[in-house]
């Protein structure tokens, strides 16, 4: 029985692999003909110029957030994402904390960068990008999770629906201190949609923090049970995450104060 190697599984994620798969299915080309055409196309693309990237960044094709885990990579929608594999500040971080801590720091960074751009990396992606083994990534994943800074990987987000996929990065970026306008630019959404996602999250989270059940919060906020359930899961996860606990509490306090200052305000406002 033939087993696919890491190279076999990762090849469709390269630009050439993505184009070759498209040409084979669209124009019924042989694998070799498609591969040759794609090789030349990538060569010309490299000669004519690359998308703007910062120092130490690479362009990588990752699976779009929300693609089901059982779907083969060759059939998934891939997005080009810019990942920072080296930052000048990494040298100081390594000097202060050592090489092992630096590797985990870079893993967190590239996974979060992909996530903020609407895609998600897998364990194989991280291993391939950083030239380490998958077992090393799994070991770091477990350690980082116990430390309260989990990696955002495809296996953990593949079952998210479209609404949840959009809500999570929007809320997390907002809690990181980005303005609504900056969040909208980063996730490629309209400002109105970003404000709507944040408004729903804040009012449901405040109701949950006040002791209301998800069912009661659904009725008070006039939102579907499914939406309130996904917001509830996100709220409880962030409330238990050391990275987000404090900013979440501050944002809810500000929202509570703003709501109390409104004349005739009610819990669903």
Residue 269 lies in a domain: no
Residue 129 lies in a domain: yes
Domain that residue 38 falls in: 1-49
Q: What is the pLDDT of residue 204?
A: 93
Check whether residue 43 and residue 54 sit in a common domain: no
Q: What is the DSSP string of 206-250?
A: HHHHTT--HHHHHHHHT--HHHHHHHHHHHHHHHH-TTTHHHHHH
Q: What is the DSSP string of 92-132?
A: HHHHHH-HHHHHHHHHHHHHHHHHHTTEEB-HHHHHHHHT-
Q: What is the pLDDT of residue 159?
A: 47
From first to last of the 269 residues of the chain, give the pLDDT tens digit.
455 554 455 455 566 677 777 777 778 888 888 778 877 776 666 545 555 777 889 999 999 877 777 778 888 888 899 999 999 889 998 999 999 999 999 999 999 888 878 888 999 999 999 999 999 999 998 888 777 667 888 876 554 444 555 688 889 889 988 889 888 877 667 788 889 889 999 999 999 998 999 999 999 989 888 889 889 988 998 998 888 889 999 999 888 887 776 655 444 44
Residue 231 lies in a domain: yes
Q: What is the pLDDT of residue 30?
A: 85
Rounded Cα–Cα distance for residues 204 and 227 (Å): 10
Residue 266 lies in a domain: no
Check whether residue 194 and residue 118 sit in a common domain: no
Check whether residue 10 and residue 76 sit in a common domain: no
Check whether residue 148 and residue 168 sit in a common domain: no
Check whether residue 8 and residue 106 sit in a common domain: no
Check whether residue 62 and residue 152 sit in a common domain: yes
Among 157, 182, 199, the domain-final residue is 157
Q: What is the pLDDT of residue 24?
A: 78
Check whether residue 75 and residue 12 sit in a common domain: no
Check whether residue 147 and residue 243 sit in a common domain: no
Host H or E run for residue 57: strand 57-64
- How many structural domains compose the chain? 3
Check whether residue 23 and residue 63 sit in a common domain: no
Helices 225-240 and 191-209 pack at an angle, to 10 degrees, of: 70
Residue 21 lies in a domain: yes
Beta carbons within 8 Å of 44's beta carbon, 6+ residues apart: none
Check whether residue 138 and residue 172 sit in a common domain: no
Check whether residue 183 and residue 225 sit in a common domain: yes
Residue 195 lies in a domain: yes
Check whether residue 147 and residue 175 sit in a common domain: no
């Amino acid at each position: 029985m033939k087993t696919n190697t890491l190279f076999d599984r990762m090849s469709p994620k390269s630009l050439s692999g993505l184009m070759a798969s498209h040409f084979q299915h669209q124009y019924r080309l042989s694998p070799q003909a498609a591969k040759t055409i794609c090789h030349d196309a990538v060569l010309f693309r490299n000669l004519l110029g690359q998308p703007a990237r910062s120092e130490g960044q690479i362009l990588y094709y990752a699976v779009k957030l929300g693609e089901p885990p059982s779907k083969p990579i060759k059939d998934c929608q891939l997005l080009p994402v810019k990942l920072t594999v080296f930052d000048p500040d990494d040298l100081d971080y390594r000097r202060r904390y050592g090489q092992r801590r630096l590797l985990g720091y870079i893993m967190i960074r590239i996974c979060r960068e992909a996530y903020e751009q609407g895609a998600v990396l897998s364990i194989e992606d991280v291993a391939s990008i950083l030239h380490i083994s998958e077992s090393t990534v799994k070991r770091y994943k477990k350690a980082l999770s116990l430390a309260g800074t989990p990696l955002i990987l495809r296996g953990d987000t593949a079952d998210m629906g479209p609404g949840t996929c959009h809500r999570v990065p929007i809320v997390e970026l907002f809690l990181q201190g980005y303005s609504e306008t900056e969040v909208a630019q980063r996730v490629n959404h309209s400002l109105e949609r970003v404000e709507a996602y944040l408004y729903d999250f804040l009012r449901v989270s405040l109701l949950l923090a006040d002791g209301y059940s998800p069912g009661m919060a659904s009725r008070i906020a006039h939102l579907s049970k499914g939406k309130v359930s996904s917001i509830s899961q996100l709220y409880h996860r962030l409330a238990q995450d050391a990275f987000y606990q404090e900013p979440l509490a501050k944002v809810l306090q500000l929202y509570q104060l703003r709501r109390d200052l409104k004349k005739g305000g009610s819990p669903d406002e």
